[in-house]
Amino acid sequence: MVHEVDEELREIKREIIESRGLVIKTNNLTNALSADIKSIAKRQQTYERRLSWNSATAYIVFVVVVFAALKLAWDARVDQIKAETEQRALDNDRLRKEQREAQKRDEDRSRAESRAAQFYDLVRAGKRVELVEQWEQVKKEPLSKAELAMFSDAVERARNDLAGQLYQQGMDKVRVQRWQEAATAFEESLKYKDDSAIGPSVRLGLSESYRHLNRQREAIPILTLLAENAVDKEVHDDALYLLAWCQTDVQAWNDAKNTWRTLIRRFPESRLTAEAKLQLAQLQLMH
């Protein structure tokens, strides 16, 4: 009986020891499992934290890229609007300039028409002096080709008429030996028309007036050109005759003798040749 009790006690003891070992193993496994769980939780936290940082970084990068794209798009739009604004400003300036130019052309044309009408009244009235005086200003106006041609012809006729009229006045003064008035008339005639058909005769009359006014040195260049101009043959002998006298007056003896010789050689049949020979002989004798 005692033996059986001991056996049972040993069996219970053994079971207790095994249970204790099992408890220890279970506790160790629990601790290990807890450690593993903690490790897994820590890794999970690290992963989640890294994932959060990555998400934040990606979001920031996304926001930066979006803002950069918006900035580029905004700058491009601003540049486009600025270019359009500048182009419109240039177009507006051009249109305003064209408008001002058109308005100025209209005003100039209106003023030109008014001036042309006034000038035509002078033409109809035969006011030659006013025509010539105002022509320099009128021809600067934007006249039509027809108006310009008509007025030019009218002014040209007025110049010829005035030049001829003053030449006749000068010759009238020469006949009564009013030399200063004659010189003034001849000078005015040349101012109106220095290349007219009567121009050589006007210069000859002016030179004669200068000689009688003791202005031979002013007459000599005029007479020299007349004597050398082969076109104006009608005044050649008179120009040489008067030139020789002017040279004699200023005591240019050699020039005077050469001029007398030229007159005799070129115009042997002239009414002035006989006197030319006499004057040449006297100069050769005295000088």
- pLDDT tens, residue by residue, 160-177: 888 888 899 999 999 999
pLDDT tens digits for range 62-108 = 788 888 888 888 888 888 888 888 888 888 888 888 888 888 877 77
pLDDT at 2: 57
114-123, 135-144, 237-246 — most confident range: 237-246
pLDDT at 209: 94
- Give pTM, 2 decimals: 0.60
Q: Which residue has the higher pLDDT, 23 or 275?
A: 275
pLDDT tens digits for range 1-25 = 556 667 777 777 777 777 777 778 8
For the ranges 3-17, 47-61, 159-173, 202-216, which has the lowest average pLDDT?
Answer: 3-17
Tokens found for residue 78: 């601003």
Span 255-280, mean pLDDT? Answer: 90
Helix axes 273-286, 253-266, angle to 10 degrees: 150
No. of helices (H) and no. of strands (E), the chain: 9, 0
Q: Could you give the 3-state DSSP secondary structure of residue 250?
A: coil
Q: Which helix (H) or strand (E) element contains residue 79?
A: helix 2-125
